[in-house]
Amino acid sequence: MNIAKAPQVEYRQACFADIEDIAAIEAEVFAEPYLYLMLRQLFDLHGSEWLVAEVEGAVIGYALTLEKSGRALLFTFAVAKRYQGEGYGHALLTRTLQTCRKIGAEVVYLTVRPDNRLAGNLFQRAGFEFVEHDDRYFGPGEPRDVFEYRLKGRPLDS
């Protein structure tokens, strides 16, 4: 009997060469993706704050957190569609939270489109709590649900 093994995932800090893969995942996953030029500028400013998940040499997911004064914003987070629902997002999120703790964050927060139940469910299963719904978070007609995860005094999966 031949039992297929799940691909081995490596989690690492992003490098400049990853931006193209990150942009492709953005375009695949989001209706209004960050463009390559925006991702490039974010990398120039926050390259050390990007975490990527890689399988067999290909970036399959990423997270960018921006920390200030003990609060970290999970600015953008996604897993390529063909890898969704297999635990990669949860594992990437766990590592992201571990990284936030290491850099001194006490709270991690994020926003999700209210109709993006897949993402909302992922974050709630990971322990994020719904904080508020804002009908105009990014302006008229741009609602978001705000979630946060309190790191202080809370154990994380290893």
- pLDDT, tens digit, for every residue of 131-147? 999 999 999 999 999 99
Cα separations in angstroms, 84 against 1, 21, 125, 134: 27, 16, 15, 27
Kind and range of the H or E run holding 98 = helix 88-102
Alpha-carbon distance of 126 to 77, in angstroms, equals: 14
pLDDT in tens, 25-55: 999 999 889 999 999 999 999 999 999 999 9
Alpha-carbon distance of 99 to 73, in angstroms, equals: 12
Q: How much is the pTM?
A: 0.89
Label residue 115 exposed, middle or buried (CB < 10 Å: 0-12, 13-18, 19+): exposed
